[in-house]
A and B are shown apart, each in its own frame.
Chain A
Amino acid sequence: MKIGVLSLQGGVAEHITMLNRLGAQATEVRLPVELNDLDGLIISGGESTTITRLMSDYNLAEPIKKLAIQGFPIFGTCAGMILLAKRVSDSSLRPLGVLDIEVQRNAFGRQKDSFEIDLSIPILGQEKFRGIFIRAPIITGVNSGFDVLCQLNEDENVAVRQGKLLACTFHPELTDDLRFHDYFLSLVRGKVT
Protein backbone atom coordinates (compact mmCIF):
# COMPACT_ATOMS: atom_id res chain seq x y z
CA MET A 1 0.00 0.00 0.00
CA LYS A 2 1.38 3.38 -1.04
CA ILE A 3 0.24 6.58 0.68
CA GLY A 4 1.25 10.05 -0.48
CA VAL A 5 1.83 12.87 1.98
CA LEU A 6 1.35 16.35 0.54
CA SER A 7 4.77 17.90 1.25
CA LEU A 8 4.40 21.55 0.36
CA GLN A 9 4.88 22.78 3.92
CA GLY A 10 4.23 21.60 7.49
CA GLY A 11 4.49 18.47 9.63
CA VAL A 12 5.15 15.98 6.84
CA ALA A 13 7.89 13.75 8.28
CA GLU A 14 5.71 12.92 11.30
CA HIS A 15 3.00 11.41 9.06
CA ILE A 16 5.59 9.46 7.07
CA THR A 17 6.98 8.00 10.31
CA MET A 18 3.48 6.92 11.43
CA LEU A 19 2.74 5.31 8.05
CA ASN A 20 6.05 3.47 7.99
CA ARG A 21 5.48 2.19 11.51
CA LEU A 22 2.16 0.76 10.29
CA GLY A 23 3.92 -1.02 7.42
CA ALA A 24 2.64 1.28 4.66
CA GLN A 25 4.87 2.82 2.02
CA ALA A 26 4.88 6.63 2.25
CA THR A 27 5.95 9.08 -0.40
CA GLU A 28 6.23 12.87 -0.59
CA VAL A 29 3.96 14.74 -3.01
CA ARG A 30 5.00 18.18 -4.28
CA LEU A 31 3.96 17.98 -7.94
CA PRO A 32 0.86 16.57 -9.71
CA VAL A 33 2.80 13.68 -11.31
CA GLU A 34 3.58 12.40 -7.80
CA LEU A 35 -0.15 11.74 -7.25
CA ASN A 36 -0.01 8.80 -9.67
CA ASP A 37 -0.10 5.23 -8.34
CA LEU A 38 -1.21 6.19 -4.83
CA ASP A 39 -3.73 4.32 -2.71
CA GLY A 40 -4.40 7.27 -0.40
CA LEU A 41 -3.30 10.81 0.43
CA ILE A 42 -2.59 12.64 3.68
CA ILE A 43 -2.67 16.44 3.87
CA SER A 44 -0.60 17.44 6.88
CA GLY A 45 -0.82 20.25 9.37
CA GLY A 46 1.06 23.44 8.63
CA GLU A 47 -0.03 26.91 7.55
CA SER A 48 -3.19 26.62 5.47
CA THR A 49 -2.50 29.92 3.63
CA THR A 50 1.00 28.72 2.62
CA ILE A 51 -0.16 25.28 1.50
CA THR A 52 -3.14 26.69 -0.44
CA ARG A 53 -0.91 29.09 -2.35
CA LEU A 54 1.63 26.40 -3.27
CA MET A 55 -1.13 23.96 -4.18
CA SER A 56 -2.54 26.40 -6.71
CA ASP A 57 0.88 27.54 -8.01
CA TYR A 58 1.87 23.96 -8.79
CA ASN A 59 -1.54 22.84 -10.15
CA LEU A 60 -2.26 20.34 -7.39
CA ALA A 61 -5.68 21.67 -6.37
CA GLU A 62 -7.65 20.37 -9.37
CA PRO A 63 -6.22 16.84 -9.48
CA ILE A 64 -6.68 16.40 -5.71
CA LYS A 65 -10.24 17.67 -5.97
CA LYS A 66 -10.92 15.23 -8.78
CA LEU A 67 -9.52 12.33 -6.75
CA ALA A 68 -11.66 13.28 -3.75
CA ILE A 69 -14.82 13.38 -5.86
CA GLN A 70 -13.98 9.93 -7.28
CA GLY A 71 -13.94 8.52 -3.73
CA PHE A 72 -10.18 8.42 -3.28
CA PRO A 73 -9.18 8.15 0.44
CA ILE A 74 -7.82 11.44 1.83
CA PHE A 75 -6.95 12.24 5.44
CA GLY A 76 -6.47 15.88 6.49
CA THR A 77 -5.12 16.95 9.87
CA CYS A 78 -5.50 20.53 11.15
CA ALA A 79 -4.51 22.71 8.15
CA GLY A 80 -5.12 19.63 5.98
CA MET A 81 -8.70 19.57 7.21
CA ILE A 82 -9.14 23.28 6.46
CA LEU A 83 -7.99 22.63 2.88
CA LEU A 84 -10.58 19.87 2.41
CA ALA A 85 -13.45 21.97 3.76
CA LYS A 86 -16.16 23.60 1.67
CA ARG A 87 -16.46 26.77 3.73
CA VAL A 88 -13.86 28.57 5.82
CA SER A 89 -14.81 31.52 7.99
CA ASP A 90 -11.88 33.47 6.55
CA SER A 91 -12.62 34.60 3.04
CA SER A 92 -9.00 35.08 1.95
CA LEU A 93 -8.56 31.31 1.79
CA ARG A 94 -9.60 29.17 -1.17
CA PRO A 95 -9.95 25.58 0.09
CA LEU A 96 -10.53 22.53 -2.12
CA GLY A 97 -14.17 22.42 -1.05
CA VAL A 98 -14.63 18.65 -1.18
CA LEU A 99 -15.69 18.02 2.42
CA ASP A 100 -19.11 19.52 3.10
CA ILE A 101 -18.21 21.18 6.39
CA GLU A 102 -17.69 24.70 7.63
CA VAL A 103 -14.56 25.41 9.65
CA GLN A 104 -13.31 28.27 11.74
CA ARG A 105 -9.54 28.83 11.74
CA ASN A 106 -7.62 29.52 14.98
CA ALA A 107 -10.88 28.88 16.81
CA PHE A 108 -9.33 28.62 20.27
CA GLY A 109 -7.13 31.72 19.96
CA ARG A 110 -3.41 32.20 19.51
CA GLN A 111 -0.54 29.85 20.37
CA LYS A 112 -0.79 30.61 24.11
CA ASP A 113 -4.20 28.89 24.00
CA SER A 114 -2.92 25.76 22.25
CA PHE A 115 -3.62 22.71 24.41
CA GLU A 116 -3.63 18.96 24.97
CA ILE A 117 -6.60 16.95 26.16
CA ASP A 118 -7.73 13.31 26.38
CA LEU A 119 -10.40 12.58 23.76
CA SER A 120 -13.03 9.86 23.51
CA ILE A 121 -13.06 8.47 19.97
CA PRO A 122 -15.35 5.40 20.05
CA ILE A 123 -14.27 4.02 16.65
CA LEU A 124 -10.69 3.78 17.98
CA GLY A 125 -11.74 1.84 21.08
CA GLN A 126 -12.20 2.53 24.77
CA GLU A 127 -8.77 3.93 25.46
CA LYS A 128 -8.58 7.74 25.34
CA PHE A 129 -6.73 9.41 22.46
CA ARG A 130 -4.39 12.31 23.27
CA GLY A 131 -5.59 15.31 21.29
CA ILE A 132 -2.92 17.89 20.53
CA PHE A 133 -4.54 21.14 19.40
CA ILE A 134 -2.16 23.80 18.00
CA ARG A 135 -3.79 27.06 16.92
CA ALA A 136 -6.49 24.62 15.98
CA PRO A 137 -9.59 25.12 13.87
CA ILE A 138 -13.03 23.68 14.74
CA ILE A 139 -15.73 22.26 12.55
CA THR A 140 -18.73 24.53 13.02
CA GLY A 141 -21.18 23.10 10.53
CA VAL A 142 -21.73 19.47 9.52
CA ASN A 143 -24.40 18.18 7.15
CA SER A 144 -26.14 14.82 7.27
CA GLY A 145 -24.21 11.95 5.77
CA PHE A 146 -21.32 12.62 8.09
CA ASP A 147 -19.88 10.45 10.82
CA VAL A 148 -18.88 12.73 13.67
CA LEU A 149 -16.03 10.74 15.18
CA CYS A 150 -15.19 13.05 18.05
CA GLN A 151 -16.49 16.12 19.82
CA LEU A 152 -14.73 18.31 22.33
CA ASN A 153 -17.98 19.70 23.66
CA GLU A 154 -21.46 19.60 22.22
CA ASP A 155 -21.35 21.40 18.83
CA GLU A 156 -17.55 21.38 18.84
CA ASN A 157 -16.75 18.71 16.28
CA VAL A 158 -13.07 17.89 16.03
CA ALA A 159 -13.01 14.73 13.89
CA VAL A 160 -15.35 13.73 11.05
CA ARG A 161 -15.63 11.29 8.17
CA GLN A 162 -17.59 11.47 4.95
CA GLY A 163 -17.10 8.37 2.85
CA LYS A 164 -13.36 8.01 2.42
CA LEU A 165 -12.56 11.56 3.43
CA LEU A 166 -11.27 11.73 6.99
CA ALA A 167 -10.47 14.94 8.85
CA CYS A 168 -9.49 16.05 12.33
CA THR A 169 -8.59 19.40 13.84
CA PHE A 170 -5.86 18.00 16.11
CA HIS A 171 -2.53 16.26 15.40
CA PRO A 172 -2.47 12.44 15.75
CA GLU A 173 0.93 12.57 14.00
CA LEU A 174 2.45 14.34 17.02
CA THR A 175 1.58 11.45 19.34
CA ASP A 176 2.91 7.89 19.55
CA ASP A 177 -0.63 6.57 19.13
CA LEU A 178 -1.01 4.85 15.74
CA ARG A 179 -4.77 4.18 15.99
CA PHE A 180 -5.99 7.17 13.94
CA HIS A 181 -3.60 6.42 11.08
CA ASP A 182 -4.47 2.74 11.32
CA TYR A 183 -8.15 3.68 10.95
CA PHE A 184 -7.30 5.69 7.82
CA LEU A 185 -5.41 2.71 6.38
CA SER A 186 -8.47 0.53 7.00
CA LEU A 187 -10.48 3.06 4.96
CA VAL A 188 -7.88 2.78 2.22
CA ARG A 189 -8.11 -1.01 2.29
CA GLY A 190 -11.87 -0.70 1.98
CA LYS A 191 -12.51 -2.42 5.29
CA VAL A 192 -14.62 0.48 6.55
CA THR A 193 -17.42 1.79 4.34
Chain B
Amino acid sequence: MIEKGTWKVKAGLAQMLKGGVIMDVVTPEQAKIAEEAGACAVMALERVPADIRATGGVARMADPAIILAIMEAVTIPVMAKCRIGHFVEAQVLEALRVDFIDESEVLTPADESHHVWKHDFKVPFVCGCRDLGEALRRIAEGAAMIRTKGEAGTGNIVEAVRHMRAVQDGIRKLQALPVDELAAEAKALGAPLELVIEVHKTGKLPVVNFAAGGIATPADAALMMQLGADGVFVGSGIFKSANPEVRAKAIVKATTHYRDPAIIAEVSKALGAPMPGLDIKTIPPQELLAPRGW
Protein backbone atom coordinates (compact mmCIF):
# COMPACT_ATOMS: atom_id res chain seq x y z
CA MET B 1 0.00 0.00 0.00
CA ILE B 2 1.26 3.48 -0.91
CA GLU B 3 1.99 5.74 2.06
CA LYS B 4 2.48 9.41 1.25
CA GLY B 5 4.01 12.18 3.34
CA THR B 6 5.76 9.81 5.77
CA TRP B 7 8.60 10.99 8.00
CA LYS B 8 11.03 9.02 5.79
CA VAL B 9 10.07 10.86 2.60
CA LYS B 10 9.99 14.23 4.37
CA ALA B 11 13.40 13.89 6.04
CA GLY B 12 14.60 12.04 2.93
CA LEU B 13 14.06 15.03 0.63
CA ALA B 14 16.23 17.12 2.96
CA GLN B 15 18.90 14.39 2.76
CA MET B 16 18.84 14.66 -1.04
CA LEU B 17 19.48 18.43 -0.80
CA LYS B 18 22.75 17.90 1.09
CA GLY B 19 25.91 19.39 -0.31
CA GLY B 20 23.77 21.86 -2.23
CA VAL B 21 22.85 25.53 -2.31
CA ILE B 22 19.26 26.76 -1.87
CA MET B 23 18.81 30.22 -3.34
CA ASP B 24 16.24 32.95 -2.60
CA VAL B 25 14.46 34.11 -5.75
CA VAL B 26 11.66 36.62 -6.34
CA THR B 27 10.89 36.08 -10.04
CA PRO B 28 10.72 33.12 -12.47
CA GLU B 29 13.74 34.60 -14.30
CA GLN B 30 15.82 34.55 -11.12
CA ALA B 31 14.65 30.98 -10.45
CA LYS B 32 15.92 29.92 -13.89
CA ILE B 33 19.28 31.63 -13.27
CA ALA B 34 19.53 29.78 -9.93
CA GLU B 35 18.67 26.42 -11.51
CA GLU B 36 21.13 26.97 -14.34
CA ALA B 37 23.83 27.88 -11.81
CA GLY B 38 23.32 24.54 -10.04
CA ALA B 39 21.05 25.41 -7.11
CA CYS B 40 19.57 22.24 -5.58
CA ALA B 41 16.35 24.14 -4.72
CA VAL B 42 14.97 27.66 -4.69
CA MET B 43 13.09 29.64 -2.05
CA ALA B 44 10.21 31.55 -3.69
CA LEU B 45 9.76 34.97 -2.10
CA GLU B 46 8.14 38.33 -2.72
CA ARG B 47 11.18 40.16 -1.34
CA VAL B 48 14.64 38.95 -0.31
CA PRO B 49 15.51 39.47 3.37
CA ALA B 50 17.66 42.57 2.70
CA ASP B 51 14.61 44.25 1.13
CA ILE B 52 12.27 43.02 3.88
CA ARG B 53 14.68 44.61 6.35
CA ALA B 54 14.77 47.87 4.36
CA THR B 55 11.00 48.03 3.81
CA GLY B 56 9.95 47.38 7.40
CA GLY B 57 6.30 46.79 8.35
CA VAL B 58 4.73 43.33 8.53
CA ALA B 59 6.32 40.70 6.27
CA ARG B 60 3.92 37.90 5.25
CA MET B 61 3.78 34.79 3.07
CA ALA B 62 4.43 35.66 -0.60
CA ASP B 63 1.62 36.14 -3.12
CA PRO B 64 0.60 32.63 -4.34
CA ALA B 65 0.77 33.92 -7.93
CA ILE B 66 4.52 34.57 -7.52
CA ILE B 67 5.11 31.18 -5.91
CA LEU B 68 3.19 29.35 -8.66
CA ALA B 69 5.02 31.23 -11.42
CA ILE B 70 8.35 30.18 -9.90
CA MET B 71 7.16 26.56 -9.53
CA GLU B 72 6.22 26.63 -13.21
CA ALA B 73 9.64 27.98 -14.24
CA VAL B 74 11.95 25.30 -12.77
CA THR B 75 12.14 21.53 -12.25
CA ILE B 76 14.14 21.66 -8.99
CA PRO B 77 12.28 21.70 -5.62
CA VAL B 78 10.60 24.98 -4.69
CA MET B 79 10.36 26.12 -1.07
CA ALA B 80 8.29 28.98 0.35
CA LYS B 81 8.10 30.75 3.70
CA CYS B 82 5.24 31.04 6.19
CA ARG B 83 5.24 33.17 9.33
CA ILE B 84 6.18 31.49 12.62
CA GLY B 85 3.00 29.94 14.05
CA HIS B 86 0.86 30.87 11.03
CA PHE B 87 -0.50 27.41 10.32
CA VAL B 88 -3.02 28.69 7.77
CA GLU B 89 -0.26 30.21 5.64
CA ALA B 90 1.37 26.76 5.91
CA GLN B 91 -1.90 25.10 4.82
CA VAL B 92 -2.06 27.47 1.84
CA LEU B 93 1.53 26.65 0.85
CA GLU B 94 0.75 22.93 1.09
CA ALA B 95 -2.33 23.44 -1.08
CA LEU B 96 -0.10 25.19 -3.65
CA ARG B 97 2.03 22.00 -3.55
CA VAL B 98 5.32 23.68 -2.74
CA ASP B 99 7.99 21.06 -1.99
CA PHE B 100 9.17 22.44 1.36
CA ILE B 101 7.85 25.05 3.82
CA ASP B 102 10.22 27.32 5.74
CA GLU B 103 8.60 28.46 8.99
CA SER B 104 10.76 31.55 9.03
CA GLU B 105 11.83 34.29 11.42
CA VAL B 106 12.48 36.44 8.33
CA LEU B 107 8.71 37.03 8.19
CA THR B 108 6.91 38.77 11.05
CA PRO B 109 5.80 36.10 13.57
CA ALA B 110 2.06 35.38 13.80
CA ASP B 111 2.31 33.65 17.18
CA GLU B 112 4.85 34.52 19.88
CA SER B 113 4.17 31.37 21.93
CA HIS B 114 3.59 28.54 19.49
CA HIS B 115 5.22 27.33 16.33
CA VAL B 116 3.26 25.35 13.70
CA TRP B 117 2.57 21.70 14.66
CA LYS B 118 4.36 20.39 11.61
CA HIS B 119 3.49 16.71 12.02
CA ASP B 120 0.01 17.53 10.65
CA PHE B 121 1.40 18.27 7.19
CA LYS B 122 2.38 16.00 4.29
CA VAL B 123 4.86 18.61 3.03
CA PRO B 124 8.14 18.81 4.98
CA PHE B 125 9.21 21.88 7.01
CA VAL B 126 12.55 23.54 7.62
CA CYS B 127 12.99 25.76 10.70
CA GLY B 128 15.71 28.06 11.99
CA CYS B 129 17.67 27.58 15.20
CA ARG B 130 20.34 29.36 17.26
CA ASP B 131 21.46 26.38 19.35
CA LEU B 132 20.87 22.68 19.95
CA GLY B 133 17.86 23.14 22.25
CA GLU B 134 16.02 25.25 19.68
CA ALA B 135 16.87 22.74 16.92
CA LEU B 136 15.49 19.83 18.96
CA ARG B 137 12.31 21.76 19.88
CA ARG B 138 11.59 22.33 16.20
CA ILE B 139 12.34 18.70 15.31
CA ALA B 140 9.96 17.59 18.08
CA GLU B 141 7.23 19.72 16.44
CA GLY B 142 7.90 17.93 13.14
CA ALA B 143 10.62 19.89 11.32
CA ALA B 144 12.25 17.53 8.79
CA MET B 145 15.21 19.87 8.28
CA ILE B 146 16.98 22.48 10.40
CA ARG B 147 18.99 25.54 9.44
CA THR B 148 20.87 28.11 11.46
CA LYS B 149 19.04 31.42 11.74
CA GLY B 150 22.10 33.59 11.29
CA GLU B 151 20.99 37.17 10.74
CA ALA B 152 19.21 37.25 7.39
CA GLY B 153 19.63 40.12 4.97
CA THR B 154 22.90 41.38 6.47
CA GLY B 155 25.51 39.68 4.28
CA ASN B 156 27.33 39.17 7.58
CA ILE B 157 28.29 35.58 8.42
CA VAL B 158 29.01 36.15 12.13
CA GLU B 159 25.61 35.06 13.48
CA ALA B 160 25.41 31.93 11.29
CA VAL B 161 28.86 30.93 12.59
CA ARG B 162 27.75 31.57 16.17
CA HIS B 163 24.62 29.43 15.70
CA MET B 164 26.37 26.57 13.89
CA ARG B 165 29.10 26.42 16.55
CA ALA B 166 26.44 26.48 19.28
CA VAL B 167 24.63 23.51 17.72
CA GLN B 168 27.87 21.54 17.27
CA ASP B 169 29.06 22.38 20.80
CA GLY B 170 25.70 21.24 22.15
CA ILE B 171 26.03 17.93 20.33
CA ARG B 172 29.61 17.36 21.55
CA LYS B 173 28.55 18.14 25.11
CA LEU B 174 25.67 15.65 24.95
CA GLN B 175 27.97 12.93 23.62
CA ALA B 176 30.35 13.43 26.52
CA LEU B 177 27.69 13.34 29.26
CA PRO B 178 27.00 10.17 31.25
CA VAL B 179 23.51 8.74 30.66
CA ASP B 180 22.26 9.65 34.14
CA GLU B 181 22.87 13.36 33.45
CA LEU B 182 20.89 13.49 30.20
CA ALA B 183 17.52 14.24 31.83
CA ALA B 184 18.87 17.32 33.59
CA GLU B 185 20.56 18.41 30.36
CA ALA B 186 17.26 17.96 28.48
CA LYS B 187 15.65 20.25 31.05
CA ALA B 188 18.42 22.82 30.64
CA LEU B 189 18.16 22.67 26.82
CA GLY B 190 14.36 22.82 26.90
CA ALA B 191 14.32 19.82 24.57
CA PRO B 192 12.52 16.44 24.70
CA LEU B 193 14.50 13.75 26.52
CA GLU B 194 14.02 11.16 23.73
CA LEU B 195 15.73 13.44 21.20
CA VAL B 196 18.47 14.29 23.70
CA ILE B 197 19.14 10.57 24.20
CA GLU B 198 19.20 10.04 20.43
CA VAL B 199 21.77 12.80 19.88
CA HIS B 200 23.84 11.46 22.81
CA LYS B 201 23.95 8.06 21.07
CA THR B 202 24.41 9.10 17.43
CA GLY B 203 26.47 12.27 17.83
CA LYS B 204 24.39 14.08 15.21
CA LEU B 205 21.03 15.75 14.71
CA PRO B 206 18.24 13.42 13.60
CA VAL B 207 17.68 15.60 10.51
CA VAL B 208 19.79 17.53 8.01
CA ASN B 209 21.19 20.88 9.20
CA PHE B 210 21.91 23.67 6.70
CA ALA B 211 23.53 27.06 7.29
CA ALA B 212 21.58 30.25 6.59
CA GLY B 213 21.57 33.94 7.38
CA GLY B 214 24.47 36.04 6.09
CA ILE B 215 26.22 33.92 3.44
CA ALA B 216 27.53 36.27 0.72
CA THR B 217 30.72 34.73 -0.72
CA PRO B 218 32.02 31.30 -1.83
CA ALA B 219 34.35 31.33 1.19
CA ASP B 220 31.39 32.00 3.50
CA ALA B 221 29.64 28.91 2.11
CA ALA B 222 32.76 26.74 2.49
CA LEU B 223 33.30 28.08 6.03
CA MET B 224 29.83 26.94 7.05
CA MET B 225 30.38 23.53 5.41
CA GLN B 226 33.68 23.06 7.24
CA LEU B 227 31.92 23.99 10.48
CA GLY B 228 29.57 21.06 9.90
CA ALA B 229 26.68 22.37 7.78
CA ASP B 230 25.11 19.85 5.40
CA GLY B 231 24.47 22.58 2.81
CA VAL B 232 23.70 26.29 2.59
CA PHE B 233 20.88 28.73 2.00
CA VAL B 234 21.85 31.95 0.26
CA GLY B 235 19.25 34.67 0.61
CA SER B 236 20.06 38.19 -0.42
CA GLY B 237 23.71 37.24 -1.10
CA ILE B 238 23.18 36.30 -4.74
CA PHE B 239 20.60 38.62 -6.28
CA LYS B 240 21.77 41.65 -4.26
CA SER B 241 25.30 41.25 -5.61
CA ALA B 242 26.70 42.93 -8.74
CA ASN B 243 26.82 39.74 -10.84
CA PRO B 244 24.29 37.15 -9.57
CA GLU B 245 24.88 34.54 -12.27
CA VAL B 246 28.62 34.26 -11.75
CA ARG B 247 28.37 34.48 -7.95
CA ALA B 248 25.67 31.79 -7.83
CA LYS B 249 27.85 29.35 -9.80
CA ALA B 250 30.86 30.15 -7.62
CA ILE B 251 28.96 29.52 -4.39
CA VAL B 252 27.67 26.17 -5.74
CA LYS B 253 31.22 25.08 -6.58
CA ALA B 254 32.64 26.24 -3.24
CA THR B 255 29.92 24.30 -1.41
CA THR B 256 30.80 21.06 -3.23
CA HIS B 257 34.57 21.55 -2.98
CA TYR B 258 34.45 23.07 0.49
CA ARG B 259 37.63 21.34 1.66
CA ASP B 260 39.66 22.40 -1.38
CA PRO B 261 41.07 25.95 -0.84
CA ALA B 262 42.62 26.01 -4.35
CA ILE B 263 39.20 25.55 -5.94
CA ILE B 264 37.60 28.09 -3.58
CA ALA B 265 40.34 30.58 -4.58
CA GLU B 266 39.76 29.90 -8.26
CA VAL B 267 35.98 30.38 -8.12
CA SER B 268 36.31 33.51 -5.95
CA LYS B 269 38.16 35.45 -8.67
CA ALA B 270 36.56 38.56 -10.19
CA LEU B 271 33.02 38.01 -8.95
CA GLY B 272 32.20 41.73 -8.82
CA ALA B 273 30.89 43.46 -5.73
CA PRO B 274 29.20 41.28 -3.11
CA MET B 275 25.98 42.52 -1.48
CA PRO B 276 26.61 45.47 0.83
CA GLY B 277 27.00 44.12 4.36
CA LEU B 278 25.65 45.26 7.71
CA ASP B 279 27.48 45.24 11.04
CA ILE B 280 25.12 43.42 13.43
CA LYS B 281 26.06 45.87 16.22
CA THR B 282 24.55 48.76 14.26
CA ILE B 283 21.12 47.07 14.02
CA PRO B 284 18.68 48.19 16.73
CA PRO B 285 17.77 45.15 18.91
CA GLN B 286 14.07 45.33 17.93
CA GLU B 287 15.06 44.92 14.27
CA LEU B 288 17.05 41.70 14.76
CA LEU B 289 15.37 38.67 13.16
CA ALA B 290 17.12 35.77 14.92
CA PRO B 291 15.46 36.30 18.36
CA ARG B 292 12.02 35.72 16.77
CA GLY B 293 10.64 32.32 17.81
CA TRP B 294 11.97 30.35 20.80
Q: Mark B256-271, 1 if CB is under 8 A from A, else 0.
A: 1100100000000000
Q: Is B75 an interface residue (CB 8 A)?
A: yes
Q: A111-B123, A114-B5 are in contact. Are A50 and B39 (CB under 8 A)?
A: yes
Q: Would A50 and B9 count as touching, CB distance under 8 A?
A: no
Q: Is B13 an interface residue (CB 8 A)?
A: yes
Q: Would B100 and A111 count as touching, CB distance under 8 A?
A: yes
Q: A46-B18, A134-B9, A171-B12 are in contact. Are A113 and B4 (CB under 8 A)?
A: yes
Q: A115-B2, A135-B77 are in contact. Are A110 and B16 (CB under 8 A)?
A: no
Q: Is A154 an interface residue (CB 8 A)?
A: no
Chain B interface, number of residues (Cβ within 8 angstroms): 40
Q: Is B17 an interface residue (CB 8 A)?
A: yes
Q: Mark B77-117, 1 if CB is under 8 A from A, else 0.
A: 10000000000000000100111100000000000000000
**List of A residues within 8 angstroms of B123 by Cβ:** 111-112
Within 8 A of B (CB), among A77-108: 78-79, 90, 92, 105-106
Bound CA span A163–B252, Å = 34
Q: Would B18 and A13 count as touching, CB distance under 8 A?
A: yes
Q: Is B15 an interface residue (CB 8 A)?
A: yes
Q: Would A110 and B253 count as touching, CB distance under 8 A?
A: no
Bound CA span A110–B79, Å = 11
Q: Is A187 an interface residue (CB 8 A)?
A: no
Q: Would A132 and B100 count as touching, CB distance under 8 A?
A: no
Q: Shortest Cβ distance from B121 into chain A, in angstroms?
A: 9
Q: Would B13 and A111 count as touching, CB distance under 8 A?
A: yes
Q: Is B293 an interface residue (CB 8 A)?
A: no
Q: A47-B40, A50-B20, A132-B8 are in contact. Are A111 and B99 (CB under 8 A)?
A: yes
Partner of B40, one of A9, A12, A174: A9
Q: Is B64 an interface residue (CB 8 A)?
A: no
Q: Would B19 and A45 count as touching, CB distance under 8 A?
A: no
Q: Would B97 and A46 count as touching, CB distance under 8 A?
A: no
Q: Is B1 an interface residue (CB 8 A)?
A: yes
Q: Would A46 and B40 count as touching, CB distance under 8 A?
A: yes
**List of A residues within 8 angstroms of B17 by Cβ:** 10, 46-47
- Give chain A's interface residue range (CB within 8 Å of chain B): 35 or more
Q: Is A65 an interface residue (CB 8 A)?
A: no
**List of A residues within 8 angstroms of B6 by Cβ:** 115-116
Q: Is A49 an interface residue (CB 8 A)?
A: yes
Nearest-CB residue, chain B, relative to A11 = B15
Nearest-CB residue, chain B, relative to A90 = B75
Q: Is A14 an interface residue (CB 8 A)?
A: yes
Q: A11-B15, A46-B18, A134-B9 are in contact. Are A116 and B38 (CB under 8 A)?
A: no
Q: Would B253 and A54 count as touching, CB distance under 8 A?
A: yes
Q: Shortest Cβ distance from B248 into chain A, in angstroms?
A: 11
Q: Would A12 and B18 count as touching, CB distance under 8 A?
A: yes
Q: A9-B20, A112-B94 are in contact. Are A174 and B253 (CB under 8 A)?
A: no
Q: Is A127 an interface residue (CB 8 A)?
A: no
Q: A112-B4, A112-B5, A135-B13 are in contact. Are A49 and B253 (CB under 8 A)?
A: no
**List of B residues within 8 angstroms of A106 by Cβ:** 75
Within 8 A of A (CB), among B1-58: 1-6, 8-9, 12-13, 15-20, 35-41
Q: Shortest Cβ distance from A151 into chain B, in angstroms?
A: 15
Q: A49-B76, A54-B252, A111-B124 are in contact. Are A116 and B8 (CB under 8 A)?
A: yes
Q: Would B252 and A50 count as touching, CB distance under 8 A?
A: yes
Bound CA span A135–B98, Å = 12
List the interface of chain A (C-beta within 8 A of B): 7-14, 30, 45-47, 49-50, 53-54, 57, 78-79, 90, 92, 105-106, 109-118, 132-135, 171, 174
- 15 residue pairs bridging A and B, Cβ less than 8 Å apart: A7-B19, A9-B38, A9-B40, A10-B17, A11-B12, A46-B16, A46-B19, A47-B20, A49-B35, A53-B36, A106-B75, A111-B9, A115-B2, A134-B9, A171-B12
List the interface of chain B (C-beta within 8 A of A): 1-6, 8-9, 12-13, 15-20, 35-41, 71, 75-77, 94, 97-100, 122-124, 252-253, 256-257, 260
Minimum-distance CB pairs A-B, first 4: A111-B99, A114-B9, A47-B40, A9-B19
